Amino acid sequence: EPIDNGISLQLAQAFVQDPLELRPPAITSFSLYVYNTTELDLATELQTTLATYSIAAAGVIEESFLGQNGVMAAAYSPDGLFFGMGKATQLPDGRVIVFVGRSVADTADTFQQLFTIIETSMVTDTTISPTPPQYGINWITESTAADGETAFLDLADITLAPHNDIRDGVLFAVDSFPQVGLIQINPHNGMVENQYAIPDEGLAQALVASSDGTIYVADVVCGCVQEFQTNSGWQQPVMSDFSADAPYSLTVDNDGNLYATDILDGEIVVRVYRNGQEETITFSEPLFSQPLLATNRANQVFALDESGELFSLEDGVFVSHTTLNTTGNITDVAFDAFNRPATTSSDGIFIFDAQGEVIENIGNLIASPDSFVAGDIYSPRSVAISADNTIYVVDSDGTYSRINAFNRGIAQHRLGNLQLVSDVVVGGTLTRDSGRHSWLFAGNSGEEIVLSAIDASGFGAVNVALRLYAPDGQEIAFNLDADSEEAILPTIFDAQLGPLTLPTSGIYYVAVEREDGEGDYRLALTTTKNSTYPATLNGFLEEAIPRQRWQIEFTAGDTIHITLAAQTANLDPIIRLYGADGSLIAENDDGEFIAPDAELIFTVPNNGVYLVEATRFSGFGPYLLTIEGE
């Protein structure tokens, strides 16, 4: 629509006539303004435009936009209900471009991905074709034998347990080793949250989650389908008496009906558990092996056989629907948010159209798992797809496992969401053409943080610097070539800010810059957390997360016993105790009877808040921090 000195385009993530009518209520929406004038101040115009969305940005930082120098701002609404961000720049022909958007605060992560997708699709000339957004890596979770008892090396399947049809809740994977069993993963950052061994030394072959969060696991040892509830654990098997090597695959429809493959009298069938009763479904033509089952978001149930023929359930029979034009050994099938089939196979990860033709190949299939960069896949085993079209892929061969979260909303040369989350590692690639990456995080006044950026090569391929900007856009901290011993970082080419205390609440900006060289970097934000005692706390240390800290109030005269136990042989931990003034009170590397784990026993001299720090002498991995009185 026309505006003073230009035009505007309004977009909303909904089917509406006028996106402006949607603010409020809480619908994700965007505005793009093109001004045919050179008389605008970019910072002022961006902040003013965000204010029309009730987003009060206190300042801006420099940021590239449409290949030009520009500005960026992000903030919450005064009531904290909405999150918004925007960018502005001036093109060589003099036009000023302002792009802003807003969503409810709870969906800020997916909003930022959508913002990136739209930004990436923009071109400044009608002679240029927009580039479709490519899948980037949101996060990678990896496990190797070095993780010890917690290692998951042979993941068989992966599924999402949705809270509802809009935002999927919990990611579950299952390992064929029964003592490893079911693994619960945060789908937004890849953090492993829990593990549950399979009962009776079972052998898991597949799993699926129903809409109410119930997890079903295909166990070929008991020839049954195990049931798991996150609040009460393993239940009695819900289906049993399957033939050898069955069930091979499972799915659940939106009505909660459970489908499992089986072989009855030499015939491949699908057994259905519906309202406490079982029935058997056959195929319109004979199959020679158990198929893979999946349900799309339109509640259609499908079966995919080894040849690529896709069957749909119609009137109680599986009939041929289409044939996927694929090669290789197919290992799994799922449907994306647009009801298109996606497969993992020995040839890679593919998405197909309605005619069965490949329309997208995701990731980079490599010949060896030993040389790996973000986006590489060696042995694709399973796939699950969320409502926002994040594609979770299991890459596992029995000696290692990687779970990859692919998403179109990840900018080129980056790994991870734009908004940092405490203790979640992100990263990117710094080059001469892309020498500065900006990140965001929501900070609170008085909160203590540490930011660490490391050269991922470990030998100085890229020398990184860190800058921190307050919500008003003013630079408040800078570091280049951190003291690697004091900062507990691998090399002098790394950078660290903190521990430092945030002066105000709002959106902070982090810039990772290339000082010299080119290569990959890793970045992590760590916030100091509050706790009480007695307490048992879990954490994870690695090169980009060299320390984690807790504030705890102790009473004078109490004797406190603290132990820091590594949960893998890779980690050699250290405990440090600081007073409220930041002075070091005590530390321990190797406890007298528990080395190489660490232990402290001390008598509290004064009432007050103390800092307990978990850090490392060497290595990486999960740990258990126990704090108790004596």
Average pLDDT estimate for 233-241:
95
Q: In this structure, is the dihedral angle defined by the CA atoms of residues 282, 283, 285 and 287, taken in order, positive or negative?
A: negative
- What residues are paired with 536 via a beta bridge? 626
- Given a cut of 50, is residue 291 above it in pLDDT? yes
The answer to whether 313 and 272 are in contact (CB under 8 A) is no
pLDDT at 455 (0 to 100): 93
Highest mean pLDDT among 148-157, 283-292, 368-377, 620-629: 283-292
Between CA 335 and CA 298 the distance in angstroms is 10
Q: What are phi and psi of 114, to 5 degrees?
A: -65, -40
- Dump pLDDT digits (tens) for 31-40: 999 999 878 8
Mean of the pLDDT values across residues 484-489?
Answer: 74
Helix (H/G/I), strand (E/B), else coil: 108: helix
Residue 531 has pLDDT above 90, yes or no: yes
**Burial classification of residue 330, based on how many CB atoms lie within 10 Å of its CB (0-12 exposed, 13-18 middle, 19 or more buried):** buried
If you average pLDDT over residues 404-412, what whole number do you get?
Answer: 87
What confidence score (pLDDT) does residue 17 get? Answer: 52
Buried b (16+ CB within 10 A) or exposed e, 122-136: eebeeeeeeeebebb
Q: For residue 449, which amino acid is it?
A: I
Which of 164-178, 375-389, 500-514 is modeled with the greatest confidence?
A: 500-514
Strand partners, 491: none
HEC string of 562-573 equals: EEEEECCCCCEE
Residue pair 366/400 in contact (Cβ under 8 Å)? The answer is no
Same fold, 414-526 and 528-629: yes
Predicted confidence band of residue 51 (pLDDT cuts 50, 70, 90)? very high
**Which pLDDT belongs to residue 262?**
98
Q: Answer whether residue 16 shows pLDDT above 60.
A: no
Measure the CA–CA gap between 71 and 93, rounded to whole angstroms.
Answer: 18
pLDDT in tens, 346-367: 999 999 999 999 999 999 999 8
Per-residue pLDDT of 165-195, as tens digits, reads 434 578 999 999 888 899 999 888 888 888 8
- Minimum mean pLDDT among 79-88, 227-236, 478-487: which range? 478-487
Q: Please tell me the predicted confidence (pLDDT) of residue 552.
A: 95
Tens of pLDDT, residue by residue over 247-258, are 999 999 999 999
Label residue 561 by pLDDT band (50, 70, 90).
very high
Neighbours of 549 (CB within 10 A): 20
Average pLDDT rounded to a whole number, residues 11-17:
60
Least confident of 15-29, 58-72, 447-461: 15-29
Among the listed residues 592, 596, 543, the one whose alpha carbon sits nearest the alpha carbon of residue 567: 596
pLDDT in tens, 123-132: 888 787 777 7
What pLDDT band is residue 20 in, cutting at 50, 70 and 90?
low
pLDDT at 621: 83
Mean pLDDT for 250-277 is: 96
The predicted pLDDT at position 423 comes to 92
- The tens digit of pLDDT for each residue in 97-114 reads 999 999 999 888 889 988
The helix (H) or strand (E) run that includes residue 51 is helix 42-51
CA distance 101 to 86: 6
Instruction: Round to whole Å and give the CA distance between 289 and 249.
Output: 11
Mean pLDDT confidence for 379-400: 94
Q: Specify which residues 85 forms β-bridges with.
A: 74, 101
pLDDT value of residue 74: 97
Residue 409 structure tokens: 């909303």
pLDDT tens per residue across span 304-337 = 999 999 999 999 999 999 999 998 899 999 999 8
> Would you give the end-to-end CA distance of the chain in angstroms?
71
Predicted pLDDT at 272: 98
pLDDT bin (cut points 50, 70, 90) of residue 535 is: very high
* Alpha-carbon span 509 to 527, nearest angstrom: 15
What span, in angstroms and rounded, lies between the C-alpha atoms of 224 and 241?
A: 6
CB atoms within 10 A of CB 272: 19
The mean per-residue pLDDT over the stretch 230-237 comes to 90
pLDDT above 70 (res 164): no
DSSP 3-state of 319: strand
What's the mean pLDDT when you consider all of the chain? Answer: 90
| CATH superfamily label, 140-407 | YVTN repeat-like/Quinoprotein amine dehydrogenase (2.130.10.10)
Question: Is the bond preceding residue 596 a cis peptide, omega within 30 degrees?
Answer: yes
Instruction: Output phi, psi for 300, to 5 deg.
Output: -95, 135
Token code pair at residue 335: 């449907």
**162: which 2 tokens?**
């949705």
More confident residue, 343 or 568: 343
User: Which CATH architecture group holds 2-121?
Assistant: 3-Layer(aba) Sandwich (3.40)
Instruction: Give the pLDDT of residue 167.
Output: 44
**Are the C-beta atoms of 407 and 113 separated by less than 8 Å?**
yes
CA distances (Å), 392 to each of 117, 499, 525, 559, 622, in order? 19, 34, 24, 47, 23
Mean pLDDT throughout 571-579? 93
Q: How far is it, in rounded angstroms, from Cα 430 to Cα 152?
A: 32
User: CATH topology for 414-526?
Assistant: Jelly Rolls (2.60.120)
The pairing of beta strand 224-229 with beta strand 215-219: antiparallel
pLDDT value for 163: 45
Joined together, the tokens standing for residue 486 give 């004091």
The rounded distance, in Å, linking the Cα atoms of 273 and 266 is 21
Bigger pLDDT: 68 vs 581: 68
User: So where are the chain's domains?
Assistant: 2-121, 140-407, 414-526, 528-629
Q: Is the pLDDT of residue 573 over 60?
A: yes
Q: What is the pLDDT of residue 110?
A: 84
User: What is the per-residue DSSP string for 139-205?
Assistant: EEEEEEGGGGGG----EEEEEEEESSSSSEEEEEEEESSTTT-EEEE-TTT--EEEEEPPGGG--EE
**Three-state DSSP state, 119:** helix
Give dist(CA 61, CA 46) in Å, integer. 11
Composition of the chain by helix, strand, coil, percent to 5: 5, 50, 40
Task: Give phi and psi for 121, each to the nearest 5.
Answer: -80, -10
Which option is the CATH number for 528-629: 3.30.300.130, 3.40.50.970, 3.40.309.10, 2.60.120.380?
2.60.120.380
Q: 444: exposed, middle or buried (C-beta count within 10 Å: 0-12, 13-18, 19+)?
A: exposed
**Omega prior to 247 cis, within 30 of 0:** yes
Identify the bridge partners of residue 96 per DSSP, sorted by sequence position.
35, 90
pLDDT at 608: 93
CA distances from 379 to 154, 328, 382 (A): 11, 12, 10
**Quick one: pLDDT band at residue 162, thresholds 50, 70, 90?**
low
Strands 400-407 and 136-144: antiparallel
Percent of the chain with pLDDT over 90: 69
pLDDT at 210: 92
